[in-house]
């Protein structure tokens, strides 16, 4: 504070002295001396810039730009001889306005210490007066080449030197001190001019303008023990390297930025983050990315590799597929670094040309459930908040809650008493989830109703499904392929081999067996099982996928068209890739319903994204080594290349007469309806003749239904929850109605009487 007051006093005294000098001195009566001190040279330096501004204002009235240049050149010559030109007289009242404070010299020294030359500093002074204060030139009156000539005349530099300084890829432009218009017009802009010429500069002042210091993380290396190998690699590289670029990608909230903060803390360095710049609506597309790139470049000059680590968060906005116009700048930014830099992104969808510029590309995955519970428990314990175990598990397993969401909610809840802390914490979390259009966390899972349990146990039999293939046998074969050997240890395999060959299990056999194992060819890798189930709606295609997963004791990941299609360019391809990747990681059976919506024939495609969507699906199908089941109601719409990729194409048809009767009896019993088609197993004495005739009538009507599927029975059973059926005749009436709807939908009528 004392130093700042001293500087302000010096500036005030300096301004007052200058005002008195310009007021009292008459240049005609008191011509200045030829020998000039440093102090007077600095005055003349500012006078040159100020005269340029004045001359440019005169130049607005001239149509011919050459007249303007001649006037300016004459004024400059008069200044060099310290004569009594008209320009100097006119300059007197405005002299103090264009006179730079004393701290600007110190600022120039700081800029030169971080790599700028004296010529670049003088160019900044020129731009500061013309565009920071005076706004002297119109863009259509002068271009960069003319600016270079003017600057070289004012400050006495060669024109070629100034032209290099005013290039788009110059140091002034890359570091953000000046934004030079790319069309080589006269446009200059800069957010740094007011900083350089308005306040005393320091390294900390520059850092605050382009970034911010990140406080050390509360986490420790042990909190990332679930990915120890990756953390050790990143820590060792950041410790041994003076510079480099590292990309960390993964879902939001998995702890990417926290990991960088922990690494910085372990190395005893400060983490400086590139500021996320806000732009105006009027600024062109890509302006935000360019400003952040300039801030990053300036950090490479003003920070020390021994003391700092740079974090470039949300870099996907800068380094993305639509960044071709700034591709050269991005490549230069990634390659010409002087510090260890961490780039953090929520996506790895980048141009391969950018990816290969990174020294390390590393995916950061979410912590496992147990580890996440420990982290949340530690977070709550520090704030003296207790959370019930079911709620804690529900919070830990919610993928939409980030670490930041939990910390903010915990901070709010800690302001309340112990009684209300848990309630407020869950309330804050649920409001966050609602803002993200996600389901809130419920304190207690509601008990499943009796009706829901009964509905979930709706009857189903794979033997009754009408298919072009025996799906029961197919399911058993797939199950045998999916089963893993119980014991794969070399010792167990050796014992089995000895028993198979009828040899004694001793040292000689072990040596012989180990030698054979080294030269034995490896078994071919499972190339995956790809099934296409097609046919009419309700014929049991999706249910087959569920039953197969249950039969193979595997999880089922089921996706519909709405889950995969995205409104964003490239989003659908990304969703498809993520679906296959997730199924591979969980070793689950992947099921895509309505595949004809994304795998349609490319010959009829009218947009490029339609072709890329099919190409992505083909690529993922070929690389997938698990069980993949696709279902479709319209086989003729599928692309031929996709059809060729399926190992088996299974047609699902409506129920045959025999299976229709069995399904009718099965669902009648499920709904509590009496039904008997004259089986010998039923005692004939119990039957009444009236009922027998009714069942015979039902049987005769069922014989006329040739388009009923298993799904139609399930549909009627769901309706019976709120509109109960009274008899088997009601069930038949519902089936006849469903059949009629299907016939009208096909637009065909049967010939007959």
Q: At what angle do helices 327-335 and 287-302 cross, to 10 degrees?
A: 20
CATH of domain 207-363: 3.40.50.300
The answer to whether residue 358 scores a pLDDT higher than 80 is: yes
Residue 370's pLDDT band (cuts 50, 70, 90) = confident
Query: For residue 495, with 0-12 CB atoms within 10 Å meaning exposed, 13-18 middle and 19 or more buried, which class applies?
Result: middle
User: Which stretches of 219-318 are DSSP H helices?
Assistant: 228-240, 256-267, 287-302
Pick the closest to residue 329 from 511, 502, 136, 179 (CA basis). Answer: 179
Domain ranges of the chain: 37-200, 207-363, 369-436, 529-600+608-652, 657-677+691-745
207-363 and 529-600+608-652, same CATH topology: yes
DSSP β-bridge partners for residue 360: 246
What pLDDT sits at residue 454? 45
Decide the pairing of beta strands 211-214 and 270-274: antiparallel
Both tokens assigned to 26: 């008459």
Rounded CA separation 629/642 (Å): 13
Indicate if the alpha-carbon torsion angle 290, 291, 294, 299 is positive or negative.
Answer: negative
Query: For residue 489, with 0-12 CB atoms within 10 Å meaning exposed, 13-18 middle and 19 or more buried, which class applies?
Result: exposed
Cβ neighbours of residue 337 under 8 Å, at least 6 residues apart?
Answer: 243, 244, 245, 300
Rounded CA separation 53/614 (Å): 62
What pLDDT sits at residue 232? 92
Over residues 248-303, the pLDDT tens digits come to: 998 887 889 989 999 999 999 999 999 887 766 555 667 788 888 888 988 998 89
Both tokens assigned to 700: 């005769």
52 and 149 in contact (C-beta within 8 Å)?
no
Average pLDDT over residues 145-165: 82
Both tokens assigned to 264: 């910085």
Q: What's this model's pTM, rounded to 2 decimal places?
A: 0.57
CATH T-level topology, domain 529-600+608-652: Rossmann fold (3.40.50)
Which helix (H) or strand (E) segment is 182 a member of?
none
3-state secondary structure 615-645: HHHHHHHHHCCCEEEEEECCHHHECHHHHHH
CA 48 vs CA 45, 131, 149: distances in Å: 5, 16, 14
Pick the closest to residue 588 from 613, 559, 614 (CA basis). Answer: 559
Rounded CA separation 116/518 (Å): 63
Residue 183's pLDDT band (cuts 50, 70, 90) = very low
Rounded CA separation 695/675 (Å): 7
Q: Which residue has the higher pLDDT, 133 or 172?
A: 172
The answer to whether residue 751 scores a pLDDT higher than 90 is: no
Sheet holding 466-467, edge to edge: 466-467, 648-653, 529-535, 627-632, 589-592, 556-559
What pLDDT sits at residue 94? 44
Q: Which residue has the higher pLDDT, 68 or 730?
A: 730
Over residues 408-467, the pLDDT tens digits come to: 888 899 888 888 888 899 999 999 888 888 888 876 554 444 444 444 467 778 888 888
Share of the chain above pLDDT 90, in %: 11
Residue 635's pLDDT band (cuts 50, 70, 90) = confident
- As a whole number, the mean pLDDT across the chain is 75
Cβ neighbours of residue 740 under 8 Å, at least 6 residues apart?
Answer: none
Over residues 20-53, the pLDDT tens digits come to: 544 443 434 444 443 445 555 555 555 555 555 5
Chain center to CA of 46: 50
Cβ neighbours of residue 338 under 8 Å, at least 6 residues apart?
Answer: 242, 243, 300, 301, 305
Pick the closest to residue 320 from 339, 343, 297, 336 (CA basis). Answer: 343
Average pLDDT over residues 147-163: 82
Residue 404's pLDDT band (cuts 50, 70, 90) = confident
What pLDDT sits at residue 361? 92
């Amino acid at each position: 504070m004392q130093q700042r007051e001293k500087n302000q006093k010096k500036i005030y005294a300096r301004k007052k002295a200058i005002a008195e000098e310009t007021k009292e001195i008459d240049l005609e009566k008191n011509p200045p001396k030829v020998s000039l001190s440093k102090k007077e040279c600095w005055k003349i330096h500012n006078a040159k810039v100020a005269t340029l501004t004045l001359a440019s204002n005169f130049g607005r009235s001239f149509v011919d730009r050459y007249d303007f240049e001649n006037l300016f050149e004459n004024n400059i010559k008069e200044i060099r001889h310290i004569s009594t030109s008209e320009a100097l007289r006119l300059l007197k009242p405005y002299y103090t306005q264009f006179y730079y404070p004393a701290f600007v010299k110190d600022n120039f020294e700081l800029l030169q210490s971080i790599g700028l030359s004296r010529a670049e500093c003088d160019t900044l002074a020129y731009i500061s007066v013309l565009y920071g204060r005076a706004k002297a030139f119109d863009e259509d009156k002068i271009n960069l080449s003319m600016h270079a000539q003017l600057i070289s005349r004012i400050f006495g530099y060669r024109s070629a030197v100034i032209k290099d300084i005013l290039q788009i890829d110059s140091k002034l432009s890359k570091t953000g001190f000046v934004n030079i218009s790319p069309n080589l017009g006269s446009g200059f802009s800069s957010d740094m001019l007011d900083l350089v010429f308005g306040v005393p500069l320091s390294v900390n002042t520059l850092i605050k303008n382009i970034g911010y210091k990140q406080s050390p993380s509360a986490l420790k290396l042990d909190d990332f023990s679930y990915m120890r190998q990756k953390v050790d690699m990143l820590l060792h590289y950041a410790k041994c390297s003076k510079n480099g670029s590292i990309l960390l990608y993964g879902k939001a909230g998995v702890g990417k930025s926290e990991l960088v903060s922990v690494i910085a803390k372990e190395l005893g360095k400060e983490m400086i983050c590139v500021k996320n710049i806000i732009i105006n609506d009027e600024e062109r597309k890509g302006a935000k990315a360019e400003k952040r790139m300039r801030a990053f470049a300036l950090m490479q000059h003003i920070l020390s590799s021994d003391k700092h680590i740079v974090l470039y968060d949300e870099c996907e906005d800068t380094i993305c597929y639509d960044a071709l116009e700034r591709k050269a700048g991005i490549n230069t930014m990634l390659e010409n670094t002087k510090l260890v830099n961490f780039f953090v992104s929520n996506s790895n969808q980048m141009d391969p040309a950018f990816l290969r510029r990174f020294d390390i590309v590393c995916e950061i995955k979410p912590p496992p459930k147990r580890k996440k519970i420990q982290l949340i428990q530690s977070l709550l314990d520090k704030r003296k908040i207790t959370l019930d175990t079911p709620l804690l598990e529900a919070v830990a397993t919610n993928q939409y809650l980030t670490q930041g969401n939990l910390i903010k909610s915990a901070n709010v809840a800690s302001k309340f008493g112990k009684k209300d802390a848990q309630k407020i914490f869950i309330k804050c979390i649920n409001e966050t989830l609602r803002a993200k259009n996600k389901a809130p966390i419920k304190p207690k899972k509601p008990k499943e109703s009796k009706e829901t349990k009964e509905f979930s146990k709706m009857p189903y039999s794979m033997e009754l499904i009408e298919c072009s293939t025996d799906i029961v046998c197919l399911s058993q074969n797939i199950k045998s392929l999916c089963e893993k050997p119980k014991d794969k240890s070399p010792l167990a395999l050796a014992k089995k081999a000895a028993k198979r060959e009828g040899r004694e299990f001793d040292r000689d056999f072990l040596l012989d067996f180990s030698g054979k194992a080294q030269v034995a060819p490896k078994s071919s890798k499972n190339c995956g099982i790809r099934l296409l189930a097609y046919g009419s709606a309700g014929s049991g295609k999706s249910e087959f996928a569920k039953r197969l997963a249950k039969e193979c004791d595997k999880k089922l990941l089921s996706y519909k068209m709405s889950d995969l299609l995205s409104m964003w360019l490239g989003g659908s391809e990304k969703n498809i890739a993520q679906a296959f990747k997730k199924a591979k990681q969980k070793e689950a059976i992947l099921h895509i319903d309505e595949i004809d919506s994304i795998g349609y024939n490319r010959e009829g495609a009218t947009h490029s994204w339609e072709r890329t969507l099919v190409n992505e699906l083909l690529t993922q199908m070929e690389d997938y080594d698990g069980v993949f089941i696709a279902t479709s109601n319209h086989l003729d719409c599928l692309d031929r290349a996709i059809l060729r990729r399926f190992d088996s194409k299974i047609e699902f048809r409506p129920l045959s007469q025999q299976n229709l009767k069995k399904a009718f009896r099965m669902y009648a019993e499920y709904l509590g309806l009496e039904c008997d088609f004259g089986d010998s197993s039923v005692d004939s004495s119990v039957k009444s003749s009236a009922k027998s005739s009714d069942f015979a009538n039902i049987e005769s009507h069922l014989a006329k239904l040739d388009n009923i599927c298993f799904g139609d029975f399930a549909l009627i059973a769901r309706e019976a929850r709120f509109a109960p059926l009274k008899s088997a005749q009601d069930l038949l009436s519902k089936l006849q109605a469903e059949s009629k709807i299907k016939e009208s939908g096909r637009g065909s009528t049967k010939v007959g009487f």
